[in-house]
């Protein structure tokens, strides 16, 4: 799963296709996020270490690319959440989750 900041960073990179730390930092700043450049760099390095980003040397730094499309990763995370719900609460958890989704779609 992503932390909120990891999710923001991944959204920027998915939207752009690839990005440097500076490009992500600027995009987040434009969205009103006041973060240190080094904070963004640390998050991107950790996402790389987790295998969610790959990087290619570019000048003095790196250009980062997502290792999976957004939809693929979303499906993987959703399956992990459902698997945990079933493991802890059993099959009724899936029925309840389906009810919640259906109710929200009606709104």
**Residue 62 backbone class (left: φ over 0; alpha: ψ -120 to 50; beta: rest):** beta
Between CA 65 and CA 31 the distance in angstroms is 21
DSSP for residue 17? S
What's the pLDDT score for residue 10? 96
pLDDT in tens, 45-88: 999 999 999 999 999 999 999 999 989 988 988 888 888 888 99
Q: What angle do CA 74, 78, 80 make, to 5 degrees?
A: 120
Burial class (CB in 10 A: 0-12, 13-18, 19+), 17: exposed
pLDDT in tens, 41-55: 999 999 999 999 999
């Amino acid at each position: 799963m992503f932390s909120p900041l990891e999710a923001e960073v991944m959204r920027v990179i998915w939207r752009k296709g690839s990005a440097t730390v500076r490009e992500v930092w600027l995009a987040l700043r434009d969205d009103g996020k006041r973060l240190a450049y080094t904070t963004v760099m640390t998050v991107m390095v950790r996402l790389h270490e987790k295998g969610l980003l790959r990087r290619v040397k570019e000048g003095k730094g790196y250009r980062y690319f997502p290792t999976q499309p957004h939809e693929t990763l979303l499906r993987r995370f959703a399956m992990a959440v459902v698997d945990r719900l079933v493991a802890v609460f059993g099959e009724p958890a899936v029925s309840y989750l389906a009810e919640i989704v259906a109710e929200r779609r009606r709104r």
